[in-house]
Amino acid sequence: MKQRLLGSARHVAALGEEVAARFLIGRWSRPALWTRRTPAEEAALQLWMTEREIAWYHRRGLRQIRENSWLRPTRINLGSGNVRKDGFLNIDSFPGGDVTLDLRLGLPFESNCCETVFSEHFFEHVEYPEPISLLMRECHRVLVPGGTLRFSVPDTEWPLNDYSKGCDAPYFTACKGQAWHPAACTTRLEHINYHFRQGNEHRFAYDEETARKLLESVGFEKIAQDGFDPRLDAEHRRIGSLFLSARKPA
C-alpha cells in the first residue's frame, strides 16, 4: 500500500482545511506568505492535499465497482498496494490494485458475499478504535456465514519483550539484518519508536490480546494466531509479523 492513510478523514480535514484556505488565498493576494509556512502548517497542508487525493480516488473506485459489477466479490485484499493477489479483488487508497477506495469509510459491497477477507500490514495504518472498528464491522458484514478474515500486522509484543534484553536481543538484531528501520535508529528506544510510528504512517500497534479484543467486539469467533502461509503472505513478512485469523459465525 502507498502508506499515506493517516488518521480519520474527519480529523485530517479539520486539521488542514483552515491552513489550506489561508495559504491558497495568500498565494494570490500576498505571494510572499506562500513560502512562510511553519513545519506544522506545512504538515497540515500536505495532509489536507493527501485527503483530497484519497477522496478523488474513492469516488473513482465507486464508479469502477458499479461499472464492473463488483458488488459481490468472493475474495478481497485490503490495502494491497501494487501487490495484486490472484483471485482477489485488490483494493487500495491509491492506484496499483484493482480498485481505489478509502477503506476508512467502509466497504461498498453487498452483505454476505465474501468467502475470504485478507489484509497484509495494513490495519496498523488505520486509527484505533475508529475507524478501524468500522472497517472490522464491515469485514464481518460482507463475509458469508463461516467466512474467514485473515490478516497480518507488525508483531509489537516481540520488541517490547526484547527491550529489557539489550541491544543484541533478537528483535534489534533483526531490525538491522532485515533493514526494517532507517540507519539513524541506533538505540533500542529509537527502534521502538520507529516500530510504533514508522514516521507518521503507523496509527496503532497490535499484540494478539488487543487484536482479539477488537475482533470479538464486532462479532468474530474462532480467533487464532496463525503461522506464515507462503500461498498468501509475502516472504518479507515472514519474520516480525503477527498473523491472525477469525471467522464469522456460521
CATH value at residue 210: 3.40.50.150
Q: What is the pLDDT of residue 12?
A: 46
Give residue 129's domain range.
Answer: 71-156+205-247
| Within a domain: 80 | yes
| Within a domain: 81 | yes
| Within a domain: 65 | no
| Within a domain: 149 | yes
Identify the sign of the CA torsion 157, 163, 167, 169: negative
Average pLDDT estimate for 229-241:
96
pLDDT digits (tens, 9 = 90+) for 99-134: 999 999 999 999 999 999 999 999 999 999 999 999
| Within a domain: 52 | no
- Where does residue 230 rank: exposed (0-12), middle (13-18), buried (19+ CB within 10 A)? exposed
Residue 29 confidence (pLDDT) above 50: yes
Number of domains in the chain: 1
pTM, 2 dp? 0.87
Q: What is the pLDDT of residue 74?
A: 98
Q: What is the pLDDT of residue 47?
A: 87
Lowest-confidence range among 2-11, 12-21, 89-98? 2-11
Residue 35 confidence (pLDDT) above 80: no
Rama region for 222: left / alpha / beta (φ>0; ψ in -120 to 50; rest): left
CA gap 55, 206 in Å, rounded: 27
Average pLDDT estimate for 150-171:
98
